[in-house]
Structure 1
């Protein structure tokens, strides 16, 4: 369909690019996949041709080529030639079948998608299809690729899977565990723990069906004698909660979060925890306790596996915490998110003669915030879906599905686009997610990691011989080292802001953020150039902040002077020690921020009140500043974790601000306080002659010397 002539050339070009990109996305989605030949399958593969073989052309995993039989068979290029060269010239059909069987067994060990499609039968979810071979879908291939990445690296398999609905994540988890038990190792005991016993049995039914059709010969080494009538699974006990596979000397246990008694006293190697997000704590049990019962005996060894999989179910729960820790690299687990647009089922056809019109509508409404009803999303959200990677056909499906939901939160819970909106919260979002998303382009890894040290941790000598030391385990990230000229000084250039947390790992984080204001003198933006992030005693935090401020050319140091216990009960900090510590620091460090607001004005003879006081008056003020700064993109962020905090910050029904349950706002508060001071309290930077030379004990090391 030709574009209407009245559309200007710029819009025509943009729409044409959308359609071109959409075709590229559809082509990537529709790349052929054949698990039996191996074409388009999971992992690195090599094409081999073996004439006379049942599958003449195959794409096999590269690691298979290290197996002598495979290598020789591929080199021969012909099944009959391989047999005559390596076995006997007078071969029989039985000899041929033995070679084929040996090859298939080897490939089954290396190639899960092949094994699943060849030997595993599942119940189709499509009406009338009945039982079908288990051929991995696109999201299932992503999932298996992640599992195989860990297995092939010799790592214990540990994964937290956050998913949209209805793509077979539970099925894939269970069949992969089945593969480890039936093909790879004997004596791998497994357990299934779902919300209810009924759900656990439904998951195990996948295993039962797979085993029903599974060749008994494949459960034994090649050439082993066995009886065709022997059972593949037997009951252990009377409850039906325990099953044994005699040929593999392994058990399968059924348990549930509601009735976890079956977990007691057994040791498992493979644990599948399903829909963990639904596990609500009660007086008698908690998700942590049930998981501990199931997983405490799992050794941290290769070919052990623990999977927590679930759709999201609100914030602040066990599943969200485990996912966040896995995503941040703070646990044994990896994290994987499957979006709705990763699932081929969630797509609606668009006729060729309508594709231009739909793309034009999407583009021309990309900035619109208006909706006609609560069952729609604004044009800017749909445009965000496009930028996230959804196809036009996917967006059309989303519009139709959204019409059946009365809120964005309900839609996001079932069909999340990213792992931030998956964890739905009820408060009003403070920051525009589209503006926050745009800020990600300036985020990047730090150039240096380490910490700032001096001759002592506290007192006057805490500022003697201040220096930066590189350390991969350090808590100070540096994107730009201080620039200090011995003859000239840029006044009001650097600003250091501290948000006080606690010493324990369950407490809020303490953050020391460093801003560079140099470019503001020419209309530019302040930039985050360094950040300390960790847990530490409050007094040591203050001295550490002073050292970092000294390192950055005697920067203005702003420390939050209270712990907000009166106004924010959810913060876990160590009590209000701030004024005592600040008074000590103020006697040594000469550029410490002191309050000057009318209610805190300094009366003659009264002590200076150091630090920024966050209270019911000042907190809305600095948050309003931050909202404006984010909206106008008037500062440069470097740490993407801070942007994640923006996306999970809300205004509650009582009017207060704070992070959603289970999240933090420590990085965010340094930006809120720091940027307010940057724009409204500090003078513009100026270049002036430096009045005195930099003493040796205050001279920072240069980047070249690190």
Structure 2
């Protein structure tokens, strides 16, 4: 085929990395919801997804946003632009695997004849091309998955529903080429390995880049569904449309996030047939909402989500707006230390401290509250040793008007308390009254957390939260509250694989605020 100079330049442009969207839209066609073969014009969500491609990606999404279709197109491009590529598309069950392979064949067959590579195999869920490339569709759980292969593009679909996902992910990761890309994508399915990976990515605690796509922004694929829902609603309500005065509190919050009345009507019909919890999981408006469970959670998930909707990302005060921050705190600001409300003179502050050994596992956390019950600051870090934390807590306490500290004695707490009192002469450390072996009342610095005392401080926290007596400004604390549960044996803590350091530090601060005395400083 003879090509003009202009066509040659365009093709050269499309073959360059960074122009994946233009390549897909130029060469690939898909079957739309009206069963028509049309050029694949990416939605805003699909564009954002493709533009954000990097080595490791994890995507939490609402249902039916077309990301799997998009990944199929990316795998086809990979195999044509880079001969000898190996792409793997993994589904959570056979039905989904069949559907993905059908989409793969449809897109591949839609390519222009001059572009489409000749195939040497096009069956058994695999397309092999004469240029050495291949695309394979398999089910999760296949023992031979990725064995002996070098993979250049991998898509793991509905990862939250896989059995033994950790082991399988490790096997696939080992087979990934140095310049390969791994995409994990799923709707939510409770507190599991996918949940852990996603929030670790969101908090920059692993190698993945996180994406979240809600149902409100992904409206371009559902316009016909919205129209049909409106007609059903009007037929049942004397031809009247839903108005703002009819909205409940959650719907009003969704309007603030960009939801239209038509979308809310569609949502109501979905909830009527499947329930609110199922809707939150399959069509979340915010990422934390997707993982809400109604099991043995101690804190009200509904209230947590309501508060989280009102908190903006990076809601802490910018460093330039804090004029009196000590240098030893300034170097941690924006990474481990965050201030949500400026310090005021003559105000009492309370700091709860849950400390670790600083070996990269549990975090050492300090939560700061003012006398009105508002969280004003927090510090967390899992690499700082206890002796270093003692110095940081001393500076933090002095900065907050010689705040009352309530420090858990477990783990690194004992050594921190000793340094604070005897090295730094810090005078306001909460003293817990106890009985010695002679049944005499004694006072010990810090707080001893056992099953009884833990229940007391957590229940105080729950009451204050439910009654609106405190204000939480940290997304981190709210996320930990969501996974804090009571077990069948009565023990309390985070679900397996999660942290509760911030919850415990907050409970300690609130207990000091409720029961602490204003120890004299001398």
> 2: CA distance between counterparts of 1:582 and 1:123?
66
Does the 8 Å contact 2:405/2:509 carry over to 1?
A: no
- The residue number in structure 2 matching 1:172 is 70
| Cα distance, 1:209 vs structure 2 | 2.0
Aligned pairs (5 A) from 1:432-451: 432-433=303-304, 435-437=306-308, 440=311, 444-445=315-316, 447-448=318-319
* Counterpart mapping for 1:168-247 below 5 A: 168-182=66-80, 184-196=81-93, 199-218=96-115, 232-235=118-121, 240=124, 243-247=127-131
Q: How many residues align?
A: 502
Q: 1:621 to 1:381 in 2, by over 3 A?
A: farther
Q: In 2, Cα distance between the equivalents of 1:494 and 1:101?
A: 69
> Which residue of the other structure, out of 188, 205, 218, is the alignment partner of 1:312?
188
SS at match of 1:252: strand
What is the SS of the residue equivalent to 1:122?
Answer: strand
| Offset, 1:665 | 2.3
- Please tell me whether residue 323 in structure 1 is matched to residue 177 in structure 2: no
Whether the 8 Å CA contact 2:92–2:158 is kept in 1: the answer is yes
Q: How does 1:94-109 map to 2 (within 5 A)?
A: 98-99=4-5, 101-102=7-8, 104-106=10-12, 108-109=14-15
Shift of 1:684: 11
- Pairwise CA distance, 1:215: 1.8
2:445 pairs with one of 582, 588, 610 = 610
DSSP 3-state at the match of 1:445 = coil
> Does the 8 Å contact 1:255/1:261 carry over to 2?
no
User: In 2, are the aligned partners of 1:546 and 1:557 still within 8 Å (CA)?
Assistant: no
What is aligned with 1:276?
159
* Secondary structure in 1 matching 2:311: helix
Query: Compared with structure 1, are the counterparts of its residues 535 and 439 closer, same or farther at alpha carbon in structure 2 (3 Å cutoff)?
Result: farther
* 1:458-508 deviation line (CA, Å, top 9, x unaligned): xxxxxxx99546257963445678788xxxxx4x73433211345444x43
Paired residues of 2:62 and 2:284 also in contact (CA < 8 A): yes
Matched residue, 1:40: none
- Whether 2:267 is the aligned partner of 1:398: answer yes
Q: What's the TM-score, normalizing by structure 1?
A: 0.62
- CA shift at 1:674, angstroms? 0.7
Mapping of residues 591-606 of structure 1, within 5 Å: 591-597=427-433, 599-600=434-435
User: 3-state SS of the aligned residue for 1:167?
Assistant: coil
User: C-alpha separation between the residues in 1 aligned to 2:374 and 2:108?
Assistant: 63
CA contact (8 A) 2:308 2:475 kept: no
Structure 1 residues 629, 468: closer, same or farther in 2, change over 3 A?
same
Moved more, 604-613 or 256-265: 604-613
Report the equivalent of 1:288: 166
Range 675-684 or range 202-211, more displaced = 675-684
2:377 is matched with which residue? 529
Q: Considering only CA atoms, is the larger Rg found in Structure 1 or Structure 2?
A: 1
Which of 331, 351, 364 does residue 496 from structure 1 map onto? 351
Cα RMSD for the two superposed structures: 3.9
CA distance in 1, matches of 2:6, 2:104: 26
C-alpha displacement at 1:169, in angstroms? Answer: 1.9
2:363 to 488, 493, 509: 509
| Change beyond 3 A, Cα 1:529–1:162 | closer
| Residue 4 (structure 2) pairs with residue 135 (structure 1) | no
User: Could you tell me how far 1:327 is from its partner in structure 2?
Assistant: 1.5
Report if aligned partners of 1:192, 1:255 keep a CA contact under 8 Å in 2: yes
Q: Which SS does the other structure have where 2:149 is aligned?
A: coil
8 Å CA contact 1:216, 1:232 repeated in 2:
no
Q: Which residue of 1 aligns with 2:323?
A: none
Output aligned runs, 1:64-79, within 5 Å. Answer: none
Distance 2:239 2:14 in 1: 43
1:104 Cα deviation from its structure 2 partner: 5.0
**How far apart are the structure 2 equivalents of 1:535 and 1:468?**
15
- C-alpha change, 1:529 and 1:178, in structure 2 (3 Å) is same
Give the match for residue 362 of structure 1. Answer: 246
Structure 1 residue 308 displacement after superposition: 0.5
2:474 paired residue number: 639
TM-score normalised over the length of structure 2: 0.81
Deviation at 1:559, TM superposition (A): 0.6
**Aligned equivalents of 2:393, 2:420: Cα separation in 1:** 10
After superposition, residues 477-496 of structure 1 pair within 5 angstroms as: 477=338, 490=346, 493-496=348-351
Q: Name the CA distance, whole Å, in 2 between partners of 1:659 and 1:396.
A: 36
Q: Is the 8 A contact 1:440 1:643 kept in 2?
A: no
1:585 CA displacement: 4.7
* Structure 2: gaps of 5 or more residues: 321-325
**TM-superposition CA deviations, 1:80-107 (whole Å, max 9, x none):** xxxxxxxxxxxxxx98x62463365356
Does 1:145 pair with 2:48?
yes
Cα distance, 1:114 vs structure 2 = 5.0
Residue 56 of structure 2 is matched in structure 1 by 158
How far 1:514 moved relative to its partner?
Answer: 3.2
Deviation string for 1:134-158 (max 9, x for gaps)? 43464xx3133232244xxxxx343
Shift of 1:119: 2.8
Q: Which residue matches 1:12?
A: none
SS at match of 2:88: strand
Q: Distance in 1 between matches of 2:389 and 2:39?
A: 56
Q: 1:590 to 1:616 in 2, by over 3 A?
A: same
Contact 1:211-1:232 within 8 A present in 2 as well: no
1:258 aligns with 2:134: no
Describe how 1:570-585 pairs up with structure 2 within 5 A: 578-579=413-414, 582-583=417-418, 585=420
